[in-house]
Amino acid sequence: MTALLELKGVSRSFGGIAAVNNVTASFQKGEIVGLIGPNGAGKTTLVNLVTGVHHIDAGEIVFDGKRINGLKSHRISRLGVARTFQVVQPFPEMTVADNVAAGALFAGGAGSVAAAREEAQQHLEFVGLGAMADTLASALTLPDRKRLELAKSLAIKPKLLMLDEVNAGLNLREIDDALKLIRAIADTGVTIVIIEHVIKVVVSLSDRLLVLHHGELIADGPPDDVVKDPQVVEAYLGARFAQRMRGGTA
């Protein structure tokens, strides 16, 4: 099976410090991959490299059979790569619908403003914000702003969606609702890479886990295997968490 996204020896340094060091990994269509690791491990930097926010120093990034490293972010997004951000920042003085329509018009290939707004409404219905289409984005609660962020990402018709701490700041019920949405998106064939610090959440959601530590990939495999990996336990999880996982109480 041909991977949708391939990272081949990808590296990036800032001020002589390796933020991402020789990372090689592949991602299949419709797969949910959790990206975990300690703070400063290079997770967000890796997302920024794939989406063209930063350029790579070495290696190659191939998306859907096309080398994309060196392309501008807007060109990468138009190929079908979408991402969310740790800090959700909608256009506050625009309506919820127009926030989504902007993505459909400028990156999603909508042929007109009317078509973009029609698509926006469909995406808003999908994420549960259909009734709030005419509300100013500034009036949304945090959970609804995160739903809006997902709708904006879907508006560009992504093949790959990279989620950076999409559950941060949510309570347990809100996290459960968000996970249902993420699974529904993956069920449409979209590949999802999710950065998540709540280990129980990412283990339950992901088909596979990647673990970064000091910019290096130290584990790649099924969640139940990765959380028991001695190197991962030492670098990130801690022995107490691994013991709970073995006992089935985590």
Q: What is the pLDDT of residue 250?
A: 44
How does pLDDT run along the chain (250 residues), one tens digit per residue?
Answer: 679 999 999 999 999 899 999 999 999 999 999 999 998 999 999 999 999 999 999 999 999 999 999 999 989 998 999 998 878 889 999 999 999 999 888 777 788 999 999 999 999 999 999 999 999 999 999 999 999 999 999 999 999 999 998 888 888 888 898 899 999 999 999 999 999 888 888 999 999 999 999 999 999 999 999 988 998 988 887 655 555 555 554 4
What's the confidence (pLDDT) of residue 247?
A: 55
Nearest-angstrom CA–CA distance, 146 and 161 = 14
d(CA 194, CA 43): 10
pLDDT value at residue 10: 98
pLDDT score at 242? 55
Res 249: pLDDT: 46
Q: State how far the Cα of 206 lies from the Cα of 13, in Å rounded to an integer.
A: 28
Distance CA 226, CA 243 (A): 13
Which architecture does CATH list for 5-80+159-247?
A: 3-Layer(aba) Sandwich (3.40)
The pLDDT value recorded for residue 244 is 59
Q: What per-residue confidence (pLDDT) applies to 89?
A: 83
Q: At what angle do helices 113-127 and 142-154 cross, to 10 degrees?
A: 130
The CA angle 196-200-203, to the nearest 5 degrees, is 75
User: What are the pLDDT digits (tens) for 104-138?
Assistant: 887 777 889 999 999 999 999 999 999 999 999 99
CB atoms within 10 A of CB 247: 8
What is the predicted pLDDT for the residue at 172? 87
C-alpha span between 211 and 234 (Å, rounded): 12
Query: Would you kindly state where each structural domain of the chain is located, as residue ranges?
Result: 5-80+159-247, 91-157
- C-alpha–C-alpha distance, residues 45 and 151, integer Å: 23
Tokens read off for 47: 């997302």
Between the CA of residue 38 and those of 65, 166, 198, 215, what are the distances in Å?
Answer: 31, 17, 12, 10
Q: Which two tokens stand for residue 28?
A: 């299949």
